[in-house]
Amino acid sequence: MTNKLNASLAAFIRAVACIAAALLSANGPAFAQSLADRVSRVPDGAVQFTFAARPGVCGNGRTFISIDSHSMYGSFSGSPETMRRDQCEPGPARVVLTRADRDIVKLETFVGPAGNASGVTDLGTVPAREAADYLLSLAARLEGRPGKDAIFPAMLADSTDTDAALLALGRDKNRPRETRRSAISWLARRGELRAPAAADKARAALVQIARDANDNQSVREQAVSAMSRFEGGDGIPALMELSRDAADPWLSKKAISAVARSGDPRSRDFLRAAARRNDLPEDIRVVVIRGIGREYATSQDAEFLRGLYASLTSEEAKESVLSSLAEIGSMENARWLLTLVRSEQEPVKLRRRALAGAEKAGAPTAELLKLYDGVSDPQLKQALIGLYANSGERNAVDKLIAIAKVEEDRSLRRHAISSLSKSDDPRAKEALQEIVER
């Protein structure tokens, strides 16, 4: 009985072995070869493979790809109705490689339904992990655009950890700048997929790249920018620390600009505190002040800048306050700037800058018209004539006519006459005719 069981078991094992051997023989390339081997065996031309895309990735299979509903990549030509008909369908991701002389010369990425791909060698579906590893290996060795383009599809692969490869690409000074910049940028974008310890490691690597004065500046700047986009503002403290690097003014300015653009609420107090520092190099202080006046500026920031102005000693720092207040706008800022225009204690250059800022901040034309008779400097009067001419309002044309008729300064009178000659207002033409006939 035992001998019969052993014989049956042996026969079963031999049968399984034969079936396995047959499968491997029939499907050898798909089972035994790596994706890189399979691609390398394809003749010149187009070759494609597909893999599972991570949740939140969709596309129309031809022209566009969406990631998490807020990042769109590709081409969006066509009528709005056509675009509405194009459904954004979840994966799979499909990569098409073009080979010439055994080299990969082009790499394209699609997500969604695949159309008819005539003349393309289809390698079928491969594991997402293998696809990501292969694509990142291309980024690590290919020159030109294909190397950079290989990173994007790797970021779409489902359930993959790409941090180590991205960090290696970002640090590799032998890689093209654009490839490195792309790798660094994706390090920040994938923050929601990263554990805290891995996030700390990525952030430390970016700080190291940013601090490397021997590296390419555009790559260093990308590292600074990436830190400002870390999930939950995790990169902001590191940027604040970099901004204090007195040994590297370039890095300090870039870090401060990144903090200002970040929109992180912690940045407001940080920037205001930095602007108060009299020991800060003047060029960096200017960057700080301009940062305060960016798109996240509040009325509190405007009040702070107006109060800061009197304590500043350099003309450039004062100009940065004026331009920031002009950008922030509001009637309160416009009137403060007009007060500065009237101040005889201020240099004419700053008064002219304040005038331009007041107009940009929304100063009423009536207020600007009153200024002409309230200032004595010819440069300011000339600037005002220019503002009146650009305004085109009826009361501004009236003021130009008055200046052209009664202004004693010949240069200013000529400037007003020249401005009237370009006006389409019939009253301007009548006034010029009267002046000619006098």
Contact (Cβ atoms closer than 8 angstroms) between residue 61 and residue 74: no
Q: What confidence tens digit (pLDDT) does each residue in 280-318 have? A: 888 889 999 999 998 889 999 999 999 999 999 999 999
Mean pLDDT of 97-113: 93
Q: For residue 77, what pLDDT band results from cuts at 50, 70 and 90? A: low
Domain ranges within the chain, ordered by starting residue:
34-158, 161-256, 265-363
Q: Is the pLDDT of residue 12 over 80?
A: no
Q: Which of 425, 357, 419, 363 is nearest to 394 (CA)?
A: 425
pLDDT, residue 22, reads: 42
Q: For residue 260, what pLDDT band results from cuts at 50, 70 and 90? A: confident
Query: Which helix (H) or strand (E) covers residue 208, if one does?
Result: helix 196-211
Q: Comparing 130-144, 158-172, 192-206, which segment has the lowest mean pLDDT?
A: 192-206
Alpha carbon dihedral 39, 42, 43, 45, in 10-degree steps, equals -60
Q: What confidence tens digit (pLDDT) does each residue in 169-194 have? A: 999 999 999 999 999 999 887 655 55
Mean pLDDT of 385-409: 88
Q: For residue 229, what pLDDT band results from cuts at 50, 70 and 90? A: confident
pLDDT, residue 36, reads: 93
Note the pTM of the prediction, 2 decimals: 0.73
171 burial type by CB count under 10 A (0-12 exposed, 13-18 middle, 19+ buried): middle
For residue 176, is the peptide bond before it cis, meaning its omega torsion is within 30 degrees of 0? no
pLDDT, residue 405, reads: 86
From the CB of residue 302, how many other CB atoms can be counted at a distance below 10 Å? 23
Alpha carbon dihedral 406, 407, 413, 415, in 10-degree steps, equals -120
Q: What are phi and psi of 125, to 5 degrees?
A: -90, 135
